Structure 1
Amino acid sequence: MKLENPLPLRLPKDTSDAAMVGRMRLLLSTSCLLTLLIDPEAMGKQDMFSRLAFLAYTLQSLLLYMMAQKSALARSKTVCWLDVAWFALIVYVTGGGSSFYYLFFFFAILTASFSYGFEEGARFTLASSALFAVTSLFAQNEVELSRVLLRATFLLALGYMIAHWGGMAMAQRARLALLHKVSQLSNPRFGMDRTTSSVLEHTRQFYRASSTILLMRDNNSEHWSLRAASHANAGRTIQANNLNDAAAAPLLAFGPEQIVLLTRPLHWLRRRLRLRGYDTERQRWAMLPDAAGVTIAELLDARSLISVPLPLRRGTGRLYVVSQRQDFNRSDALFLVQIAAQAFPVIENIELLDRMASEAVLRERERIARDLHDTTIQPYIGLRHGLSAIRMKASNSNPLNQDLDNLLNMTTQVVHDLRHYAKRLRGEPELREPELLIALRRQAAQVRQFYDVHISVDTVGELDVSDRLSAEVFQIVNEGMSNICKHTTARQGFIELACKAGQLTVRIENECLGPPVLDFTPNSIAERAAALGGVARVQRGQHNNTAVQIVIPV
């Protein structure tokens, strides 16, 4: 099953931030313009060009404030760079190094840092310091070089701190978004494999890692289960591979409760492996012997990796995040512990629920098979014996012989079908198609028999959904078939199921002799879809048909 285009890990941006920034920009520019008009001597050097500069910046600030809620351009990075350029011009026309308007550069640094993260904040810090120094040196007045250097250094130091804090705020937003996504993925109806695959893939995308590796073992199992998410299998359900103790040993080289961070920082122009472990009791990092790190780094072809234990109640395991291009830091390692604590106890419960549900289904099937044999098959066998005895007593010239033979053949066929059904209930034959598809085609055959409405059932790609979701989807499609039979005059229908981009799409179409009817909502189907987190809508189908499309996240 493909899960292309996963949901983004970033929370949606609030446009109220852009409006607040616009208001503050307008407040700064207006206050400067008013100061220039009220007390021009306090502004230092000023002439007609400086007045025009202040007026133009105020008008631009007013325009950006009016566009903040409507235009994406007013919230873009370009506006921050325009602020830097304006502030450099204002500093230049008000005296260069002696101008106290150099403090306005912090406005641009704050906006960039808390909107775009540490890297952008650092770029704006460097650009602001450089522009301040250049404008101070080229301003047409004498200024002390020490003052210029002091103020430029002040911009660099405080700007770097702002960029760092802004980057931390952005990282916290992304981490909250990932934890929110993980909590959404931890849903029992998605199943163990689907949930685990999604958690591994979203974790890999968050860390921009090459792969994420999960190694788990239940206390009652002899083998380890290994799952690995990488760019090659991105968006697909990852099936577990079984490993024995010897094969899993390299991934278990660290202590069962040890949090490990491996990096390769530059040291004398070459990268040197550094292995750290986190002491949970002392809450500090300590260096570990490099031997285990070298082995695991060569095995996974890793430049940097994080390994954390899994907080499982009925088993043990480790989670690895591996990168071939970048180094992780200690904060990344500690956050991975939070991801494991959030997701994997729930995944463990999902596995337990799946196991209990499967065992309950098996026991129920065995009970139904026994009841079917005792209460239905045996009476039919007795009926067949009775009919056979009556047929043997009847003379060859009896006019009811043909009817008796038909009844005898019918009861023989019914006994054969019931035995075959009971055998399938016990799970003896291997199903070649998903149970949902088999059930829907059986239902379509009954609709054709009773209503003379021909409904075809088809799938696009692989149909991989859990049993619980299959039961809900069957009820939705069954309701759609019933609607075609009861509320339309159609003699042909079409049902298509497809799993793509992390969604199950069900399309129910019926032929329409006139224009398609689109101004209605199938309430029962819409309510069932909404209960599963999906939506149902009526559309124009192929050949002018009426189509109901249901989209459910899986």
Structure 2
Amino acid sequence: GTALTGGEAAIVPDLGRASYWPVAVSTGPALIVPLAASGAVLGLLVVAHPPDGTAFDDDTDVNLLSTFAGQAALALERARAQEERELLVVLEDRERIARDLHDVVIQRLFATGLHLQSAARLAGRPEVGARINSAVDDLDTTIRDIRSAIFELRTPVNATLRTEIVATVDAAAASLGFRPELRVDGPIDSAVPDEVRPDLLAVLREALSNAVRHARAGRVEVIVAVADGALRLSVTDDGVGGTAPFDERSGLANMRQRAERQGGGFTIGPKPDGGTRVEWSVPVR
């Protein structure tokens, strides 16, 4: 306790009895020295003798080990600083890539889509116009995928899942003209495995994108909950809705595949009082 909180070396007669250990510790006298650098204790350096070993010298042993601990703490601090510099380089590179995707690639795809839409109106044969419109739909899907990639590139490395959900919902407000209602229940950050998180966020973005493009809604509600061993996402709106069965093109098909890949399920259908309900769930253990 003294070494960790006070930053001072300590000698204990029996390390096994000096603190609680998860496993049995069979040692004798021990010298405990803090690994301190820049006024902060980074850890502890412990040297112990075997049972019935000789005691440590208050002057010689403490000075020698304290000098070594100071050098070790300095090396740890330099290694941490190097990791932070490398992380900063990665983040700057990710921001540059995201900016290029948004300012160059998406704009060119959007312009290409506009040109194709104009060409579709001039097509003399209906099947030609249908193929051009199909190509425009593919471009729209590609643009959404790139925007999703940009969002992931700009997401902080240590961001919590709850924070990312809130950011995704906030991002949809600009296109909807209002902020969707959001409710998050349960231990989202601790219970949802890392391999499930990208699927959850991708499905949430796709569901909100569909509400923007098709629903003409005045209210959208998002519920993300963890309970009874399952992660559930529900996105409902009060828009124009649709008729079942829904045409599961690339966006809806991807949502279903993401659920089935994790052993879960996906449904989409009209609400009894109007609008559309999307439900997506996967098991969490």
Question: Which TM-score band (shorter chain)?
Answer: 0.3 to 0.5
Structure label with greater radius of gyration: 1
> Normalising by the residue count of structure 1, what TM-score does the alignment of the two structures yield?
0.24
